[in-house]
Structure formats: structure tokens, C-alpha cells
């Protein structure tokens, strides 16, 4: 039995498989007789000394965690600033780690979390406190550097491709007398990874989605309208997938143009799809529908990608392995060794190469006209949505998701007002 405790925390937007990572972390640590605490609501729980004793959870509950979406211990949207600016909070963090004999800190999140884990490791070294910090990748945005892909993305991508394929069949059936243009809004504020995944729903000029709008290309309304019109005239209908983050040529978010106040002076939380739908209806006169799946796309564990689940679990296991080996300030990343057959492995990469970097979509993934994806993009994306890993369903027709007991660890420190 290794001496000391492992602290695991979830950070940022949760996904359909971040709990699969948590499950793998806890199971790997248990196999090595290492005690695992989890921070409630991510880094906040570590600052507030709100820690959860995962040893109170049964083996069955931890196994069920692997098929439960959301973030079982709570996550948060908090970014610590630089060591200088947020010194007090970093020191508090170290105090809490020390108070609970935490020797391994696993932070499961995106760029910001990698940065926080890196800074905590630097501070621990400065104070001579023996701590191994490991970042664990997670984000539906697929924008982490170094890793070939990010756990969470594959399942959201599968949800997107399947949903677009399904609703396109609905639109096709009704187009003669009803909706002719359908707009599906995909997450992706800075990069169009999920919108690109929608491209897997069909291939060829007449297959839905007919037009994809990427944040990587400026939104040109006149050109878009012309393409919508041409598609409706050629195919009978037009399925559009729009990234929430598309921008005009002068760098303004299109969604903001549609937001603001409505005629009653109330905040109208528009979104891109709603805005585009209104514009297309006004300009072209077509009946338009749109969908905004929002959190559904990142929590749809019922439609998870098996590849994604396996990778989420693999990075969790490897994170524990790296931590216990004392590999400090690293992240287990996914390395693709072959497209066909798809092969991958997990390696360690330094957090310094990942923290605060953002992976953009390669330029050769976007079709020249800017409205679709290339064969290179398909080669990259397709393996990530491959395989099904449905949760068990109950007699009641609903997936059986677990709720943990989340038993609090007794506090050892005074409260922190930070």
C-alpha cells in the first residue's frame, strides 16, 4: 500500500464520459490500494476543503460511474490566474493537499486545468512538498494540444452525426409541403470540431448536412443564402449545421447579432441557429426549423462512442500509473498510430506543452468552399465515433445512472475566504 492520498477533481464543462475517466482512476487506485479523495465541484472543493471520500462507494457504484454522464463529484468554471496574481489561492490549495496527505493530484479538464495542475506542481516544488500533479484530458471541444483527440469529443461527435442523419430524414420526408431549411446548432465557440463531425452524417453533394458553417471561416450572408437557395432548388430541402461560434468577416460573433433584447425589452438568448433561421426565412421565404441541442450533445451517454469511452478510461488508468511512478506535470495523451485500422496508445506529454494552448482544426479538414469537410477530416473523425457503448437500461425504459453517496471528509483546516 502506497503511503498518501490521491486527489481527483473534475473541471470545466462535463461530458458524457468524464465519469468513465473518474471510474477508471478510482478502480486503478483501488487495485494499488491507494486511497482516492475527490474534490467537490472541482478546484473549488479543493480550496474550500470540501472533499469526498470515494472509499465509501461500492465497487458496483464505481463500475456504474463508467456509464453515467455528467460530473459525479461536481465540476466548476473557475480559472486560477498566475502564481503571482492568485498566490493566496495556490497556497491554500497546497495547505489542503498537505492537510489530507495528498501526494498525487489528478486534475481532469481542458487547457485551463492543465495550466492549474502545472502551477500547483511548481508551487509544491518551491515549498519542497512532495506532490505529483497529472492532468487528465477532457473536453467536447477537442481543442487540447498534443493529444490526437480529447475524451468527451468522440461521444458528442457521434451524437451530432447521428442526430443530423436522423433529423435530415425527417426534413426530407416533409419538404414538399413543410420545412425546407433546417438549422442545427453545434457547440464550438472557437473551433468547429463538432460541426465538422456532423459532416459524417452524409457524403456527397446531395447528402445532408448540405452546408456546414465553421468558426474557422468568416460568415458571408449573401454567399450562404445563395448556397441555401441552390440546395433547396437542387435537393428539395437544405440541412445546415452551424457552429455556435461563427463570426462575420470583421470578427463579430453572428450569435450576438441575434441576441440582445426583444421588442419587449427582454433579453432574448438567441443563438446562431435561431438567428440564421430567422434570416433565411426573411430573405428566402422558406419555412425553416432549427434545433439547439445545447447540453444534450455533451451528456448523451446513451449514444456514447465506444472508442471515446475506452479512451476516457485509458487516460484515467494511465494518469494513476503516471502519478504513482512520480511522473510530475504530465498528461496522458492519445497518440494515433494508424488510421486504418484505427490504432492508438496513451503516452505521457508535459503539461507545459498543453497548458493554455489551443488546437485548431487543420486547414485541410475544411473543403475549399468552406461549407463541408474533406476526406482527410473524415479519416480523422470517423474512428472517434466508432462503436456503441450503451448504458444498461432499467425495466422502466430509462438508462440506469448512478448517484454516488459523496460522503464528505472531515475538515482539518479553518474555512478559506478566497
* Residues annotated as catalytic (active site), given as ranges: 141
Is 359 a residue that touches a second copy (CB under 8 A)?
Answer: no
Interface residue with a second copy, options 271, 316, 332, 372 (CB under 8 A)? 271
Beta strand 211-213 with 343-350 is unpaired
Q: Is 206 annotated as a binding residue?
A: no
Is 408 a residue that touches a second copy (CB under 8 A)?
Answer: no
d(CA 121, CA 353): 15
Which range, of 110-118, 225-233, 266-274, 328-336, touches a second copy by CB under 8 A? 266-274
Closest listed residue to residue 322, CA positions, set 28, 114, 59, 31: 28
Phi and psi at residue 332, to the nearest 5°: -70, 125
Q: Is 313 annotated as a binding residue?
A: no
Torsion of CA 9, 13, 16, 21, to 10 degrees: -20
Interface residue with a second copy, options 55, 178, 337, 356 (CB under 8 A)? 178
Is 2 a residue that touches a second copy (CB under 8 A)?
Answer: no
Q: Which of residues 37-66 bind a second copy (CB under 8 A)?
A: 41, 44
Is 264 a residue that touches a second copy (CB under 8 A)?
Answer: yes
Interface residue with a second copy, options 120, 292, 309, 373 (CB under 8 A)? 292
CA distances from 346 to 96, 310, 315 (A): 30, 11, 7
Rg of the chain over all Cα atoms, to the nearest angstrom: 23
* Helix or strand holding residue 134 (H, E): strand 132-137
Q: Is 8 annotated as a binding residue?
A: no
Which range, of 52-60, 89-97, 223-231, 259-267, touches a second copy by CB under 8 A? 259-267
Is 397 a residue that touches a second copy (CB under 8 A)?
Answer: yes
Is 25 a residue that touches a second copy (CB under 8 A)?
Answer: no
Interface residue with a second copy, options 263, 338, 363, 368 (CB under 8 A)? 263
Sign, CA torsion 146/152/155/158: negative
Q: Which of residues 179-198 bind a second copy (CB under 8 A)?
A: 179, 182
Q: Is 298 annotated as a binding residue?
A: yes
Sign, CA torsion 66/71/72/76: positive
d(CA 175, CA 271): 24
**Site track for a second copy across 131-160, x = CB under 8 A:** ---------------------------x--
Number of CB atoms found within 10 A of residue 179's CB: 18
Annotated binding residues, as ranges?
13, 111, 139-141, 187-189, 244, 295-298
Annotated binding site for substrate: 139-141, 187-189, 244, 295-298
Amino acid at each position: 500500500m502506497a503511503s498518501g492520498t490521491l486527489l481527483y477533481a473534475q473541471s470545466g464543462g462535463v461530458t458524457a464520459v468524464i465519469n468513465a475517466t473518474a471510474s477508471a482512476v478510482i478502480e486503478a487506485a483501488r487495485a494499488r490500494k491507494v486511497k482516492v479523495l475527490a474534490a467537490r465541484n472541482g478546484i473549488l472543493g479543493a480550496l474550500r476543503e470540501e472533499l469526498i471520500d470515494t472509499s465509501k462507494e461500492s465497487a458496483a457504484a464505481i463500475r456504474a460511474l463508467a456509464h453515467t454522464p455528467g460530473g459525479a463529484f461536481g465540476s466548476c468554471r473557475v480559472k486560477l490566474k498566475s502564481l503571482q496574481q492568485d498566490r493566496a489561492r495556490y497556497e491554500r490549495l497546497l495547505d489542503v493537499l498537505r492537510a489530507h496527505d495528498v501526494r498525487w493530484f489528478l486534475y481532469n479538464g481542458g487547457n485551463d486545468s492543465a495550466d492549474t495542475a502545472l502551477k500547483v506542481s511548481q508551487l509544491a516544488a518551491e515549498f519542497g512538498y512532495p506532490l505529483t500533479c497529472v492532468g487528465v484530458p477532457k473536453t467536447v471541444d477537442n481543442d487540447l494540444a498534443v493529444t490526437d483527440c480529447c475524451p468527451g469529443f468522440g461521444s458528442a461527435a457521434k451524437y451530432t452525426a447521428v442526430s443530423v442523419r436522423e433529423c435530415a430524414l425527417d426534413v426530407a420526408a416533409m419538404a414538399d409541403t413543410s420545412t425546407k431549411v433546417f438549422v442545427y446548432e453545434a457547440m464550438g465557440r472557437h473551433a468547429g470540431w463538432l460541426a465538422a463531425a456532423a459532416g459524417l452524417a452524409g457524403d456527397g453533394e446531395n447528402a445532408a448536412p448540405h452546408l456546414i458553417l465553421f468558426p474557422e471561416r468568416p460568415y458571408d450572408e449573401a454567399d450562404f443564402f445563395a448556397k441555401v437557395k441552390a440546395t433547396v432548388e437542387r435537393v428539395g430541402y437544405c440541412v445546415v449545421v452551424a457552429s455556435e461560434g461563427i463570426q462575420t468577416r470583421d470578427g463579430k460573433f453572428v450569435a450576438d447579432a441575434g441576441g440582445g433584447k426583444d421588442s419587449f425589452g427582454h433579453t432574448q438568448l438567441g443563438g446562431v441557429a435561431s438567428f440564421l433561421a430567422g434570416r433565411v426565412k426573411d430573405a428566402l421565404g422558406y419555412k425553416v426549423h432549427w434545433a439547439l441541442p445545447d447540453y444534450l450533445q455533451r451528456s448523451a451517454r446513451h449514444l456514447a462512442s465506444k472508442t471515446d469511452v475506452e479512451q476516457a478510461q485509458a487516460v484515467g488508468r494511465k494518469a494513476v500509473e503516471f502519478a504513482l511512478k512520480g511522473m510530475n506535470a504530465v498528461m496522458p495523451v492519445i497518440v494515433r498510430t494508424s488510421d486504418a485500422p484505427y490504432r492508438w496508445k496513451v503516452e505521457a506529454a508535459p503539461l507545459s506543452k498543453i497548458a493554455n494552448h489551443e488546437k485548431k482544426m487543420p486547414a485541410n479538414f475544411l473543403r475549399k468552399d468552406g461549407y463541408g469537410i474533406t476526406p482527410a477530416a473524415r479519416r480523422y473523425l470517423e474512428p472517434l465515433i466508432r462503436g456503441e457503448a450503451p448504458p444498461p437500461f432499467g425495466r422502466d425504459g430509462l438508462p440506469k445512472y448512478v448517484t454516488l453517496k459523496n460522503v464528505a471528509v472531515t475538515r482539518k483546516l479553518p474555512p478559506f475566504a478566497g
